[in-house]
Amino acid sequence: MSSEVIEMGGEKYLLTISKDITDRKQTEETLRMYLVAMNASIDGLAITGQDEEYVYLNAAHAQIYGYDDPEEIIGKTWRDLYDAEEITRIEQEVLPRLREEGRWRGEAIGKRRGGSTFYQELSLTQMAGNRIVSAVRDITERKLAVEKIRRLNEELEQRVIERTAQLEAANQDLKSFAYSVSHDLRAPLRAINGFAQIIARRHGDSLNEEAQHYFGNIVTASAHMSQLIDDLLLYSRVGRQAVRRQPVPLGALLAQVAANLSDRVAETGAHFSLPDDLPIVSGDHTLLTQVFTNLFDNALVYRRPGVVPRVVVKSQTKTDAFIISISDNGIGIPPEFHEKIFSIFQRLHSQEEYPGTGIGLAIVKKAAGLMGGQVWVESVVGQGSTFYVELPREAREVK
Ligand code: ADP
């Protein structure tokens, strides 16, 4: 409002001119509100002008770039806040997209006062008159954490690879060791056995009963050790040769395995029941023979006194596997041993009760595993056991 005194015809008048400025006031109020909001922002906000110079920036923007006061940046251009490499990248990748699409959002590497760099998330909006509004957030900590996790993962993977290689080498050493030790033990054992037998034969008469008993023990023990060595060698040999997968008609194979046990069958009066519809499986003939020989043999060995062994074989065809079951009516196995018996040297009986070496089922498990299959048992003590052999229908590669 403005007032002025003017004279007209000797009279004095007071001229008052007033304008309605409510609109302008409101606009100013809104602008002030926006400014307060921008200064309260945790993200850096800035506007660059016609010549890429900063015309406005909030306190957070200055802080993010390491300046105490926004005034210190006013007049600088955005190029003062990035290093040469990043400026080139922004010119080549960011600005063309910003001009084209009016917006750009992504990550960049900013330069703080003093020259250190930091990762930032950057959002740019193109305005009229070549003005650009930018919002910037320091994401260095997040990036470093992600990078650290990535590096740790990489290191972990590398360590797993190295450890696996070490384990494989150690495993290989152990296999060769077991093989050569068992192999080398054979000769001295044969000597012990041979000489013990010579003494028993030639000088048996001059030995008293006690000495004869001990010599008998030496012969029995060395026979057992010989069996142990043979089984150990067999165990280490399983899988030494490449697994040769071929179609094997199980019906013929099992009939042959049962026929091979004819001595024990005759001795026990055992009865085998093999179904007619046994499948043709994909497996290694030698390994399959090994698996079923050991299972059939055990079914005859672990029989109940006075009970004629009955061995019933069944097969089940699933979408991806054949399951062959071998059931006996023998002594059964307590539940706590259902897994353990597949480990090497695990036996539940003394030599006197049931002779054996505790290697047979370990061979069964190893052989089935080499063919991509698995084995398990269900059993009730005093009633019998059923061993299951699962073999994949499609040849699966197993190392
Ligand atoms: P071994 O027969 O030489 O002892 P195995 O590895 O073949 O070695 O068997 C391990 C143990 O599992 C046996 O000592 C026996 O206790 C138990 N076992 C295996 N098969 C049967 C079976 N069919 N019935 C009862 N027990 C069995």
366 C-beta closer than 6 A to ligand 1: no
Residues paired with 48 in a beta bridge: 54, 132
- Can you tell me the distance from the alpha carbon of 196 to that of 215, in angstroms, rounded to the nearest whole number? 7
User: Is the per-residue pLDDT at 214 higher than 80?
Assistant: yes
> What separation in Å is there between the alpha carbon of 230 and the centre of ligand 1?
17
Q: Where are the beta strands (DSSP E) in 44-159?
A: 44-48, 54-57, 103-111, 117-126, 132-138
Q: Identify the three-state secondary structure at position 192.
A: helix
Pocket test for ligand 1, best of 228, 294, 342, 347 (most atoms within 8 A of CB): 347
385 C-beta closer than 6 A to ligand 1: yes
290 C-beta closer than 6 A to ligand 1: no
- Which tens digit of pLDDT belongs to each residue from 345-386? 888 888 888 888 899 999 999 999 999 999 999 999 999 999
- Can you tell me the distance from the alpha carbon of 3 to that of 392, in angstroms, rounded to the nearest whole number? 105
Residues paired with 42 in a beta bridge: none
Name the closest-CA residue to atom 8, ligand 1.
Answer: 358
The tokens of 85 are what? 């490499």
Ligand 1: which atom is nearest the Cα of residue 331?
Answer: 25
298 C-beta closer than 6 A to ligand 1: yes
231 C-beta closer than 6 A to ligand 1: no
Window from 42-51, 78-87, 181-190 with minimum mean pLDDT: 181-190
- Which tens digit of pLDDT belongs to each residue from 226-276? 888 888 888 888 877 778 889 999 999 999 999 999 998 999 999 999 999
Residues paired with 124 in a beta bridge: 104, 134
293 C-beta closer than 6 A to ligand 1: no
Window from 6-10, 50-54, 285-289, 299-303 with minimum mean pLDDT: 6-10
- Can you tell me the distance from the alpha carbon of 394 to that of 383, in angstroms, rounded to the nearest whole number? 35
Residues contacting 384, CB < 8 A, separation 6+? 327, 328, 329, 330, 332
Considering the chain, what is the average pLDDT of its residues?
A: 90
Q: What is the pLDDT of residue 398?
A: 46
Pocket test for ligand 1, best of 228, 361, 376 (most atoms within 8 A of CB): 361
Q: What is the mean pLDDT of residues 309-314?
A: 97
> What separation in Å is there between the alpha carbon of 215 and the centre of ligand 1?
29
Q: What is the pLDDT of residue 8?
A: 65
* Model pTM score: 0.61
Q: What is the mean pLDDT of residues 25-51?
A: 91
Q: Pick the closest to residue 389 from 310, 288, 297 (CA basis).
A: 288
299 C-beta closer than 6 A to ligand 1: yes
- Can you tell me the distance from the alpha carbon of 323 to that of 339, in angstroms, rounded to the nearest whole number? 18
- Can you tell me the distance from the alpha carbon of 195 to that of 207, in angstroms, rounded to the nearest whole number? 15
Name the closest-CA residue to atom 2, ligand 1.
Answer: 356
- Can you tell me the distance from the alpha carbon of 95 to that of 368, in angstroms, rounded to the nearest whole number? 64
> What separation in Å is there between the alpha carbon of 270 and the centre of ligand 1?
17
* 219: confidence class by pLDDT, cuts 50, 70, 90: confident
> What separation in Å is there between the alpha carbon of 229 and the centre of ligand 1?
18
Q: What is the pLDDT of residue 17?
A: 66
Q: What is the mean pLDDT of residues 198-205?
A: 85
